[in-house]
Amino acid sequence: MNKEQSKTVIFQPDGSVDTFKQESVVSTSSRLQNYNEQLKDSLNSGIAFTELLDRLINTSDPHELLDSAMQLISYRLNSAFLVFPQQYSRSDFYLIFLSRLLQQHNSDQLILQSSEHNHELYQEFPGINNQGYFVFQVDPVNEGGAYYVEKQNGAQLFYLNFAKHIVKFNAAAITSLLVENYHEKFVYPTVRKFVLLLIKMGKFFKEDFGFDVDFNILDQSNSAVYAIIKSDIPQEALDKLFVVASRAGYMLQTGPKGEAILDLKSGLVVTFGTEHQLIGNKKEQWAINVKDREATLSWFDLLFNYDFIRDWYLDNINTLEIQVDPRYFN
């Protein structure tokens, strides 16, 4: 448009002439150009998103897998110029990541499902099936964090944080769901398979990415000490254990350092005492230690398999409950 065409001329009744520049034409053109550029940026952002999703779904490199997941959980796909009506949630990306991590290790026992009713992804474990509806719930406080939750029970089995490189298992939730709830519904081998998969997950995070993993009540190491919420001697609870153990055909004995020892069978011993008594450090915190010949059992396994121990522990849970990290679990 030339200069004459970009002006508006108005002939007044008195014969005078007023001339105005057509600023509106220039402004509209600028707005159209800006809209087009913003739309291109939004489309390019969508393409970049699909490339990350491709990598999450297909990569065989664990570090690429983690990097893709970290970017996707913080990715803002929508813009003021373009909205994608159907999207996976941040929680879904944690779940896709976990399924892919297990796949990379040929441990894909968890089945990734899609719920049309809840509009979300979830995982099922064969044998537990619809009694276990496992999802991630995003931590609203700590960036990069999410809880692995059995949605029907609300049990937060473990906490995962990509930014802090940590995995924390939760004794309270594991006891509530896997010991109290599942003990009534499933045989030990079925629940143990699920527990072993949880332990595998923790090991994969540790070995592949160097995460700090607290197995808590699932720790199978003979050197593991499960600190209880009561720091000093739970004498009343120990007196009760002496009685219930005796009724079940076992004898609670006193060890050389004053610890309480329960010999369950050849190669399987549970000891109750301070950490100083159990592992020789300077802490007077009371704890539980499990030693078995193959180092394949944890306090969870004993709670599930020995009725008198389970009943005693649950009856005295306000004293004996295994500690969890208070920064992530209430």
pLDDT tens per residue, range 292-322: 999 999 999 999 999 999 999 999 999 999 9
Give residue 53's domain range.
Answer: 7-84
Out of 84, 107, 136, pick the residue that ends a domain. Answer: 84
Model pLDDT for residues 232-260, shown as the tens digit of each residue = 999 999 999 999 999 999 999 999 999 99
Is residue 278 a part of any domain in this protein?
yes
Q: Specify whether 179 is located in the same domain as 148.
A: yes
Q: What φ, ψ does residue 263 adopt, rounded to 5°?
A: -90, 105
- What pLDDT is stored for residue 26 in this prediction? 56
- What pLDDT is stored for residue 80 in this prediction? 86
Three-state SS for 267-320 is: CEEEEEEEHHHHHCCCCCCEEEEEEECCCCCCHHHHHHHCHHHHHHHHHCHHHH
Is residue 1 a part of any domain in this protein?
no
How many Å apart are CA 132 and CA 122, to the nearest integer? 10
Neighbours of 282 (CB within 10 A): 7
Is residue 2 a part of any domain in this protein?
no
Model pLDDT for residues 179-210, shown as the tens digit of each residue = 999 999 999 999 999 999 999 999 999 999 99
Out of 197, 215, 233, pick the residue that ends a domain. Answer: 215
Q: Specify whether 234 is located in the same domain as 270.
A: yes
- Does the pLDDT value for residue 52 go beyond 70? yes
Is residue 191 a part of any domain in this protein?
yes
Element (H, E) at 213: strand 212-214
Is residue 63 a part of any domain in this protein?
yes
- What pLDDT is stored for residue 27 in this prediction? 84
Q: Specify whether 80 is located in the same domain as 124.
A: no
- Give percent above pLDDT 90 in the chain: 85
Residues β-bridged to residue 271: 261, 289
Confidence category of residue 3, pLDDT binned at 50, 70, 90: very low
Average pLDDT in the chain: 93
Domain count, the chain: 3
Q: Specify whether 201 is located in the same domain as 237.
A: no
Q: Specify whether 102 is located in the same domain as 209.
A: yes
CATH number, residue 329: 3.30.310
Is residue 193 a part of any domain in this protein?
yes
Q: Specify whether 94 is located in the same domain as 211.
A: yes
- What pLDDT is stored for residue 330 in this prediction? 85
Q: Specify whether 136 is located in the same domain as 78.
A: no
Q: Specify whether 192 is located in the same domain as 123.
A: yes
- Does the pLDDT value for residue 1 go beyond 60? no
Q: Specify whether 329 is located in the same domain as 255.
A: yes
Q: Specify whether 158 is located in the same domain as 270.
A: no
Residue 222 tokens read as 């003979």
Output the furthest CA–CA distance in the chain (Å, rounded): 119
- What pLDDT is stored for residue 81 in this prediction? 85
How many Å apart are CA 192 and CA 208, to the nearest integer? 24
Q: Specify whether 58 is located in the same domain as 79.
A: yes
Helix axis angle, 90-104 to 23-58, nearest 10°: 30
Out of 55, 84, 113, pick the residue that ends a domain. Answer: 84
Three-state SS at 261? strand
Q: Specify whether 93 is located in the same domain as 211.
A: yes
Model pLDDT for residues 256-276, shown as the tens digit of each residue = 999 999 999 999 999 999 999
Is residue 230 a part of any domain in this protein?
yes
